């Protein structure tokens, strides 16, 4: 029986975030170069996007390239950037047909010029779509995001636009690049690693974490359904007790 049949469609998370990990190990296990794993990983992205769309999930954020990834070998970075351009161009028609809006977060201007142009083009073309918002985290680091937000607030204080005592959690959140995007209820990480790797550190404060041994290129639609079922079996308390949660529901 598919995990999909066990999913409660009335309790679907609004936002799911994914750390796609294991492309290199998948390739190495099969005697391929690392870039072959990234290419196969695109198929897993497609499957996951389709599954999320079917379930009515509103936001799906995937960690595609971190600021730390710039330290990888040049040939791998070049291949990843070329793959980004090819994938965005290839999927543009699919985005339109399935009412998918493409967004991106991160230090996007650090991307190669061609990758940056093609990404902005796809974002603009899909901006009116009202279905799933697919968010690519590119040249992204959560610490970078928080520091940038802090700099904006510091500049406002210096300019006399706000006072230091006006700085609050809401004020900081309002300057982040993820402003307007709800926090993820569920964070998925593949490949058996148990860490969050500088990804959405502020936003996942109360997210449910799901770890799987599956390497990203092998992450299927069924694997995604399984993660959703696991999420739905948990009690989200946000610092409250179980008794308080039950009382609120009643």
The pLDDT tens digits of the residues spanning 96-133 come to 999 999 999 999 999 999 999 999 999 999 999 999 99
Q: Topology of domain 10-141+183-249, per CATH?
A: Undecaprenyl pyrophosphate synthetase (3.40.1180)
Give the residue-averaged pLDDT of 196-225: 97
| Polymer length in residues for the chain | 250
Q: Active-site residue numbers?
A: 21, 69
CB atoms under 10 Å from CB of 151, counted, come to 11
Helix axis angle for 74-97 and 34-55, nearest 10°, is 20
Quote the tokens at residue 179.
């402003």
Over 70: is that where the pLDDT of 240 sits? Answer: no
Over 60: is that where the pLDDT of 156 sits? Answer: yes
DSSP the chain: --GGGG--GGG--SEEEEE---HHHHHHHTT--HHHHHHHHHHHHHHHHHHHHHHT-SEEEEEEEEGGGGGS-HHHHHHHHHHHHHHHHHHHHHHHHTTPEEEEES-GGGS-HHHHHHHHHHHHHTTT--S-EEEEEEEE-HHHHHHHHHHHHHHHHHTTSS-GGG--HHHHHTTSTTTTSPPPSEEEE-TT----TTSSTTTTTT-EEEE-SS-GGG--HHHHHHHHHHHHTS---TT--HHHHHHHH-
Residue position matching structure tokens 């308390």: 237
Residue 235: what pLDDT? 83
Query: What phi and psi, each to the nearest 5 degrees, are found at residue 111?
Result: -70, 155
Domain parsing of the chain, residue ranges? 10-141+183-249
Instruction: Give first-to-last CA distance, the chain, whole Å.
Output: 33
Query: What phi and psi, each to the nearest 5 degrees, are found at residue 225?
Result: -60, -40
pTM of structure: 0.93
Give the residue-averaged pLDDT of 203-225: 97
The pLDDT tens digits of the residues spanning 1-30 come to 799 999 999 999 999 999 999 999 999 999
């Amino acid at each position: 029986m598919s995990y999909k049949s066990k999913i409660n469609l009335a309790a679907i998370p609004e936002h799911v975030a994914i750390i796609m990990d294991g492309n290199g190990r998948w390739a190495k296990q099969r005697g391929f170069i690392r870039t072959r794993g990234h290419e196969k990983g695109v198929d897993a992205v497609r499957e996951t996007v389709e599954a999320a769309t079917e379930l009515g999930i509103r936001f799906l954020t995937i960690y595609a390239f971190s600021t730390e990834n710039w330290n990888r070998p040049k040939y791998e970075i070049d291949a990843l950037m070329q793959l980004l351009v090819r994938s965005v161009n290839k999927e543009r028609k699919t985005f339109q047909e399935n009412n998918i809006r493409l967004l991106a977060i991160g230090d996007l201007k650090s991307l190669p010029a061609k990758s940056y142009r093609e990404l902005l083009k796809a974002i603009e073309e899909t901006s009116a779509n009202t279905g799933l918002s697919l968010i690519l985290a590119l040249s992204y680091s959560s610490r970078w995001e928080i520091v940038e937000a802090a700099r904006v607030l510091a500049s406002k204080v210096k300019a006399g636009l706000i006072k230091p005592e006006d700085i609050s959690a809401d004020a900081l959140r309002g300057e982040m690049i993820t402003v307007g995007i709800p926090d993820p209820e569920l964070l998925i990480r593949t490949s058996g690693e148990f860490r969050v790797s500088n990804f959405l550190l502020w936003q996942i404060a109360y997210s449910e974490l799901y770890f799987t041994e599956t390497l990203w290129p092998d992450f299927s639609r069924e694997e995604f359904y399984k993660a959703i079922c696991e999420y739905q079996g948990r009690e989200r308390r946000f610092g409250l007790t179980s008794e308080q949660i039950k009382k609120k529901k009643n």
